[in-house]
Amino acid sequence: MRLLRNILLVCAALVAFGLWSRQQRRVVAERAAWEAATSPNANGFVPMPAWDDPPAGKVWIVAALNCPRPAGLRADGLVSRLAEDGIAAVRVAQVSFKFDQMPTQAEKDRISKVMNGELPVVFVNGRAKNNPQASEIVAELRARGR
């Protein structure tokens, strides 16, 4: 009787361990997928939530309009450089995001880091980066299928 009880305990422990290890693998896989989806890509752009009325296939450059400061001048330079390459860019002073659901703290931190970083902030097909070079924007457009 005691031997049977010990065998059942060992079997129960093995089943519990199997369930626990499967759950751990799932958690690790989900974390890796999330980090891959939210980390900067090769061009340094990170995913951002949808914003109001984004023009399809255009680059959004966010910086104060008619600003004589360096950030405004950089934004003007990006618009000119992209226009030379035949890339449509829209210069705006602000964006507002639409959230279908409340973002997680990690998403809030990512949005805050990008939006409070060095201007201009450039959006390309749902991804954004602070103060990128024109070459990085072009590379991002090519990587994302324009």
Say what the alpha-carbon torsion angle 71, 45, 124, 34 is, to the nearest 10 degrees: -140
How far from 103 is each of 90, 98, 99, 107, 112, CA to CA, in Å?
Answer: 26, 10, 7, 6, 12
Give this prediction's pTM.
Answer: 0.68
- pLDDT 10s digits, 71-126: 889 999 999 999 998 998 988 888 887 777 667 787 888 888 888 889 999 998 88
Structural domains of the chain, count: 2
Q: Tell me, yes or no, whether 15 and 57 share the same domain.
A: no
Q: Tell me, yes or no, whether 132 and 62 share the same domain.
A: yes
Q: Tell me, yes or no, whether 2 and 52 share the same domain.
A: no
Whether the Cβ atoms of residue 95 and residue 52 lie closer than 8 Å to each other:
yes
Q: How far apart are CA 57 and CA 71, in angstroms?
A: 24
Q: Tell me, yes or no, whether 25 and 58 share the same domain.
A: no
- pLDDT 10s digits, 8-39: 888 888 888 888 888 877 766 666 555 555 55
- pLDDT 10s digits, 113-127: 888 889 999 998 888
Query: Would you report the helix, strand and coil content of the chain in percent, each value rounded to 5?
Result: 50, 15, 35
E-strand ranges in 17-102 read 46-47, 59-62, 89-92
Whether the Cβ atoms of residue 114 and residue 123 lie closer than 8 Å to each other:
no
Q: Tell me, yes or no, whether 126 and 60 share the same domain.
A: yes
Domain that holds residue 112: 46-143
Q: Tell me, yes or no, whether 33 and 76 share the same domain.
A: no
